[in-house]
Amino acid sequence: MKAFIVEKYGKDGIRAAEVPEPTVGDRDVLVRVSAASINPLDKMVRDGEFKQLLKYKRPFVLGHDVAGVVTRVGSAVHGLEVGDEVYARPRDLRIGAFAEFIAIDMDDVAPKPASLTLQEAAAVPLVALSAWQILVERANVKPGQKVLVHAGAGGLGSTVIQLAKHLGATVATTANTESEKLVRSLGADVVVDYTKEDFSQVLSGYDLVLDSLGAASLEKSLTVLKPGGMAISVVGPPDAAFGKQLGAPSFLGVVMNILSRKVRKQAKALGVRYEPFFMRANGSQLRKLAALYDSGKLRPVIDSTFPFDQTLQAMAHVEQGRTKAGKVVVSMVPDHS
């Protein structure tokens, strides 16, 4: 089958190749890929940023988001059948969405939202699971709380705005002038145009900030939280708990605590908390999220769609910051939706 494989870590380490179809274990479903989508995590894994934690055996197929049709099921699989249209964020060390077929553990798979095309569904799993795990599991967001989402027009930000609004929060976001109309349509109550003003000068008293921009933004974000508030970052320095989640040896946990010591110290001085975040695969949560898409509470935001043979161009489009809003999708078939 055709696939895009990482042979060596680094920007030039990925190429198109013919590889064997994946083997299907007892608990696996084999999915014919209809569409995949690009995530910042793809670049990070390609570049080897997690190689101390996620021990991928090269060459491996890249791609963390997939939608497609089940073509085979393992002997222990229940609740999924050949012909089902599904979507998934396969678990770490079993990724491989940039291929014609992928074998996925049944616990990571869910029927795709009925209201979405396969191309739309491919844009959803990683960002929707991240939004759910941050807002529902970690922060336990309640009606009336205040949530600040950075980069609200992005794939993650656009999903977090919608879910936070559904949970009853008052939502602020940072965006540029062109994106203001979009983020307001998604539910943002307060929009700070970062090209004109500094969010830390105009916002205060927030229960939760989700940062996806990096160190400077994260440090400022701590200052807009109310006492006891929490900043969660998907790109900030890791801590020992983060390492434990990814199965790191304990000595790496110590190293991670050193890496995040400065920001944790700043948070403590302000009477707030800082936590790094790394999402995990979860099919049962995808089933709950599918109901939210089908009821109209959530909708995918898609920037552009590339054909499968242009997967590397799709990655470059994201890497070069050319995405205007939402996700970039790679489709095996023309999208007639």
Residue whose C-alpha is closest to residue 272's, from 280, 262, 264: 264
Task: Specify the residue for token string 């995990």.
Answer: 280
The CB density around residue 34, as the number of other CB atoms within 10 Å, is 23
Please tell me the predicted confidence (pLDDT) of residue 254.
93
* Cα(46)–Cα(10) distance, integer angstroms: 6
Please tell me the predicted confidence (pLDDT) of residue 333.
80
* Cα(215)–Cα(222) distance, integer angstroms: 11
Task: Classify 241 as helix, strand or coil.
Answer: helix
- The one-digit pLDDT tens for each residue of the chain (337 residues) are 999 999 999 999 999 999 999 999 999 999 999 999 999 999 999 999 999 889 999 999 999 999 999 999 999 999 999 999 999 999 999 999 999 999 999 999 999 999 999 999 999 999 999 999 999 999 999 999 999 999 999 999 999 999 999 999 999 999 999 999 999 999 999 999 999 999 999 999 999 999 999 999 999 999 999 999 999 999 999 999 999 998 889 999 999 999 999 999 999 999 999 999 999 999 999 999 999 999 999 999 999 999 999 999 999 999 998 999 999 999 998 644 4
pTM of the model: 0.97
CA 134 to chain centre: 11
- Do the domains 2-123+300-331 and 126-276 sit in the same CATH topology, yes or no? no
Please tell me the predicted confidence (pLDDT) of residue 334.
62
Residue whose C-alpha is closest to residue 337's, from 302, 310, 293: 302
Q: Which CATH superfamily is domain 126-276 in?
A: NAD(P)-binding Rossmann-like Domain (3.40.50.720)
Please tell me the predicted confidence (pLDDT) of residue 129.
98
Per-domain boundaries in the chain: 2-123+300-331, 126-276
Rg (CA), the chain: 20
Please tell me the predicted confidence (pLDDT) of residue 122.
98
86, 112 Cβ separation under 8 angstroms:
yes
Tell me the average pLDDT of the chain.
Answer: 96
Q: Which CATH superfamily is domain 2-123+300-331 in?
A: Medium-chain alcohol dehydrogenases, catalytic domain (3.90.180.10)
